[in-house]
């Protein structure tokens, strides 16, 4: 169990830890000279029952001694993140002081719900004073998460009451259950150094997951550094161990890096893609004694386990209409930070004023990867209410159920700090669509609705363009689900194809009923027409000319050509002008070559020069490519050009 001290400067936190453990947590010369704590100090003690295995963190008491001076509140916040139990220290002679209140507020905002109070320096005051301060402390704790915590009157100098406090802490630790190891490993580096014969060592509190000797971990820094390192050895809560679990203090011996390359605030993570964020959606609770309303785009200092950043807060819900978030009120906000942080859903944050002098509130991270636009839409706010659910299984199931276009599995795993295997276990009934670009997760209802949308849209297209063989894949995606990744959309189409609900002809997708069978006579006439079109190369005959060449009526020729076009053998570029499939394939190849040699752009003049003929015909063909989704027109005037956009409607056979 990891215990964090809290309290005003010079109230005896360090002295009390020494009395409880026999360890002096001050290690800097300046600390010893000034008699105050500046950096985080650590001490460990085995439980009295002695039944702990070496390195088992649940059988060891770990203490984090934090500085009490207001100038070192950021250091105190780093130490308080990840603690299991708070030990609030109040001197009996001074009583409740400013940093007592602020440290208690921080513990409340961080969600620390278990603790005890040590009323120190009781040897200096009369019993009446002790009773008076105890009453004041109980009143102070009442509205916080530590309400009802026991108070122990102690004197670290005489030892009075210390045994009772120690026995209580040991009793709580013996009842402590091991944290579940189903989250990804996270540790924020707070110290780094080198030891002869061992090499680089970093220390920090395991915020989630487990780390084992021999594991590979990912060193991640917000500036983009990513490096995989091997764990050579571990010390957990001051003792050699093979495993460090959530809530324990770990010293990690890393191989493959010099300690000078590491920085305080670096993260050790499970070896999977890591993503830092500069935007965080969170539910913010202002303290009742906050100095003022929190207005739109207020500047604050945001403190997180991974460090602190300057941030501006965008109000998302009713507080904006009310003129700001009032003291004591709660609301949804988006924090836009000046530097990236590694945050996950459920992380606790604390905010102080822009100058970093006063704690004004805190909250819980809901979404570490929120959108920058449309953040106040009703559907977005409803989604944030789902993210507030502390049950991860319920939260994920509801998120996936509400996602009409599914959810990116990697982003979901990173946002909720879950290994991929755990994500699958929590969503056993979801449809997991894996492509070369990653994995996307759909609810069965959303996946079925997407399929129906494709079939409905194709049916409408067939009615409007009966002479077209179907719709090219990328064009169909833009018609049905433009925000769905292309590779996932292809899986959807292939699933419909396998079920017999969709058919494909070349690069065109169509409903199975949208097809044409030709009689023997019509097949012969069609072959003759196609031969004439092929012979015409890039300037094939128009319908009227083709009717004369094949000795057919113009209306009959037009009707037969449209039926052949529905089979994908020819393409109608403009009314009454058809190109055969081989010619279209060569034209597509020319367009691709021009794009490759002209900075991705295809200009009508260059295309005309390659195929011969006039500019008008070149424009007609390029506009046909735009229509079927192969290209897209960009620019205006003299800057008008076309760029490649999707699959060609036909390609040359190899």
Over residues 69-91, the pLDDT tens digits come to: 555 566 666 656 677 788 999 99
Instruction: Please give the pLDDT value at position 76.
Output: 61
Q: DSSP class of residue 649?
A: S
pLDDT at 267 over 80: yes
Whether 635 and 599 have beta carbons less than 8 Å apart is answered as no
| % of the chain at pLDDT higher than 70 | 92
pLDDT at 315 over 70: yes
From the list 344, 349, 347, the residue with the least C-alpha distance to 359 is: 349
Do β-strands 115-120 and 85-91 pair in parallel, antiparallel, or remain unpaired? Answer: parallel
- Residues 136-167: pLDDT tens digits? 999 999 998 889 999 999 998 888 988 998 88
Rg (alpha carbons) of the chain, rounded to whole number: 35
Instruction: Please give the pLDDT value at position 34.
Output: 43
Instruction: Please give the pLDDT value at position 138.
Output: 94
- Residues 382-393: pLDDT tens digits? 999 999 888 888
Q: DSSP class of residue 35?
A: T
With a CB cutoff of 8 Å and minimum separation 6, the contacts of 189 are: 202, 203, 204, 262, 263, 264, 265, 266, 267, 268
Tell me how far apart the alpha carbons of residues 620 and 613 are, in angstroms, rounded to a whole number. 12
- Determine how many CB atoms are found less than 10 A away from the CB of residue 66: 26
Least confident of 38-42, 382-386, 499-503: 38-42
139-166 per-residue burial string, b: 16 or more CB within 10 A, e: under 16:
ebbeebbbeebebbbbbbeeeebbeebb
> pTM for the complete prediction?
0.76
- Residue 29: φ, ψ to 5°: -55, -40
Do β-strands 249-255 and 115-120 pair in parallel, antiparallel, or remain unpaired? Answer: unpaired
Do β-strands 348-353 and 298-304 pair in parallel, antiparallel, or remain unpaired? Answer: antiparallel
Instruction: Please give the pLDDT value at position 389.
Output: 87
Helices within 541-613 (DSSP H only): 543-550, 554-566, 581-597, 604-611
Would you state the torsion angle of the CA atoms of residues 505, 507, 513, 518, taken in this order, to the nearest 10 degrees?
A: -40
- Residues 8-21: pLDDT tens digits? 877 888 888 888 88
Bridge partners of 367? 281
Q: What is 202-222 written as a DSSP string?
A: EEEEEEESEEETT-EEEEE-T
Whether 647 and 474 have beta carbons less than 8 Å apart is answered as yes
| % of the chain at pLDDT higher than 90 | 43
Instruction: Please give the pLDDT value at position 391.
Output: 87
Indicate the helix (H) or strand (E) that contains 228: strand 226-236
> What is the pLDDT confidence band of residue 59, given thresholds at 50, 70 and 90?
low
> What is the pLDDT confidence band of residue 284, given thresholds at 50, 70 and 90?
very high
pLDDT at 36 over 50: no
Tell me how far apart the alpha carbons of residues 436 and 451 are, in angstroms, rounded to a whole number. 21
Helices within 243-402 (DSSP H only): 378-387, 392-402
pLDDT at 495 over 90: yes
From the list 154, 157, 106, 1, the residue with the least C-alpha distance to 64 is: 1
Do β-strands 407-408 and 438-442 pair in parallel, antiparallel, or remain unpaired? Answer: antiparallel
Instruction: Please give the pLDDT value at position 539.
Output: 93
Q: What is 118-170 written as a DSSP string?
A: EEE-GGGS-HHHHHHHHHHHHHHHTTSTTTT--EEE--TTT-TTHHHHHHHHH
Mean pLDDT estimate for the chain: 86
Q: Which domains does the chain have, with CATH numbers?
A: 2-174 (3.40.50.300), 186-269 (2.40.30.10), 277-384 (2.40.30.10), 389-515 (1.10.10.10), 520-644 (1.10.10.10)
Instruction: Please give the pLDDT value at position 247.
Output: 79
Q: DSSP class of residue 519?
A: -
Instruction: Please give the pLDDT value at position 73.
Output: 62
Whether 88 and 146 have beta carbons less than 8 Å apart is answered as yes
Instruction: Please give the pLDDT value at position 49.
Output: 58
- Residues 562-580: pLDDT tens digits? 888 888 889 999 999 999 9
Instruction: Please give the pLDDT value at position 240.
Output: 84
Q: How far is CA 268 from the centre of its chain?
A: 17
Instruction: Please give the pLDDT value at position 27.
Output: 53
- Give the mean model confidence (pLDDT) for residues 373-399: 90
Whether 608 and 614 have beta carbons less than 8 Å apart is answered as yes
pLDDT at 493 over 80: yes
From the list 191, 328, 360, the residue with the least C-alpha distance to 263 is: 191
Least confident of 61-75, 219-233, 275-289, 620-634: 61-75
Instruction: Please give the pLDDT value at position 524.
Output: 92
Tell me how far apart the alpha carbons of residues 267 and 154 are, in angstroms, rounded to a whole number. 38
Longest Cα–Cα distance in the chain: 122
Tell me how far apart the alpha carbons of residues 454 and 496 are, in angstroms, rounded to a whole number. 9
Whether 149 and 170 have beta carbons less than 8 Å apart is answered as no
């Amino acid at each position: 169990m990891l215990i964090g001290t809290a309290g005003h400067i010079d109230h005896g936190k360090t002295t009390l830890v020494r009395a409880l453990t026999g360890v002096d947590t001050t290690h800097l010369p300046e600390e010893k000279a000034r008699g105050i704590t500046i950096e985080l100090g650590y001490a460990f003690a085995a439980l009295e029952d002695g039944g702990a295995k070496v390195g088992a963190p649940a059988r060891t008491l770990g203490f984090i001694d934090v500085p009490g001076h207001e100038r070192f509140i950021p250091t105190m916040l780093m130490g308080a993140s990840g603690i299991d139990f708070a030990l609030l220290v109040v001197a009996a002679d001074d009583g409740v002081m400013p940093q007592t209140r602020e440290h208690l507020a921080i513990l409340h905002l961080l969600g620390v719900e278990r603790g005890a109070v040590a009323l120190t320096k009781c040897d200096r005051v009369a019993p009446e004073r002790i009773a008076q301060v105890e009453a004041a402390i109980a009143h102070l704790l009442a509205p916080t998460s530590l309400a009802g915590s026991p108070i122990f009157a102690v004197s670290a100098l005489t030892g009075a009451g210390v045994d009772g406090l120690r026995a209580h802490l040991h009793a709580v630790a013996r009842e402590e259950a091991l944290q579940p190891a189903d989250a990804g490993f996270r540790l924020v580096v707070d110290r780094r150094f080198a030891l002869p014969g061992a090499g680089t060592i970093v220390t920090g509190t395991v915020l989630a997951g487990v780390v084992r000797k021999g594991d590979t971990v990912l060193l991640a820094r917000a500036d983009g550094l990513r490096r995989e390192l091997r764990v050579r050895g571990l010390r957990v809560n001051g003792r050699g161990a093979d495993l460090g679990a959530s809530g324990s203090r770990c010293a990690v011996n890393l191989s493959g890096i010099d300690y000078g390359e590491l920085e305080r605030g670096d993260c050790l993570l499970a070896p999977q893609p890591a993503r830092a964020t500069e935007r965080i959606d969170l539910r913010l609770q202002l303290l009742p004694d906050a100095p003022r309303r929190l207005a739109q785009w207020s500047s604050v200092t945001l403190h997180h386990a991974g460090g602190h950043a300057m941030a501006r807060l965008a109000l998302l819900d009713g507080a904006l209409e009310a003129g700001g978030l009032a003291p004591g009120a709660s609301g949804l906000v988006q924090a836009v930070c000046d530097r990236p942080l590694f945050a996950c859903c459920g992380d606790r944050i604390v905010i102080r004023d822009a100058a970093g002098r006063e704690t004004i509130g805190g909250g819980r991270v809901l979404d570490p990867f929120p959108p920058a636009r449309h953040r106040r839409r009703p559907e977005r706010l409803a989604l944030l209410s789902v993210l507030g659910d502390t049950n991860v299984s319920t939260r994920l199931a509801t998120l996936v159920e509400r996602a009409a276009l599914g959810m990116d599995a990697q982003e979901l795993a990173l946002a909720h700090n879950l290994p991929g295997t755990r994500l699958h276990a929590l969503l056993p009934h979801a449809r997991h669509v894996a492509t070369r670009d990653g994995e996307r997760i759909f609810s069965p209802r959303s996946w079925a609705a997407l399929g129906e949308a494709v079939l409905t849209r194709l049916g409408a297209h067939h009615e409007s363009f009966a002479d077209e063989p179907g719709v090219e894949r990328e064009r169909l995606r833009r018609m049905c689900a433009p925000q769905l990744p292309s590779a996932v959309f292809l899986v959807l189409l292939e699933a419909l194809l396998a079920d017999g609900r969709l058919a494909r002809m070349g690069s065109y997708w169509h409903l199975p009923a949208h097809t044409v069978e030709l009689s023997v006579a019509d097949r012969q006439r069609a072959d003759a027409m196609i031969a004439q079109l092929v012979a015409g190369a890039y300037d094939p005959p128009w319908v009227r000319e083709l009717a004369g060449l094949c000795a057919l009526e113009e209306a009959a020729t037009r009707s037969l050509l449209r039926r052949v076009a529905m089979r994908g053998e020819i393409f109608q570029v403009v009314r009454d002008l058809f190109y055969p499939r081989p010619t279209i394939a060569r034209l597509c190849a020319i367009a691709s070559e021009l794009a490759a040699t002209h900075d991705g752009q295809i200009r009508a003049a260059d295309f005309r020069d390659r195929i011969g003929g006039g500019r008008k015909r070149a424009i007609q063909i390029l506009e046909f490519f735009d229509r079927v989704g192969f290209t897209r027109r960009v620019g205006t005037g003299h800057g008008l050009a076309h760029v490649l956009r999707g699959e060609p409607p036909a390609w040359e056979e190899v």
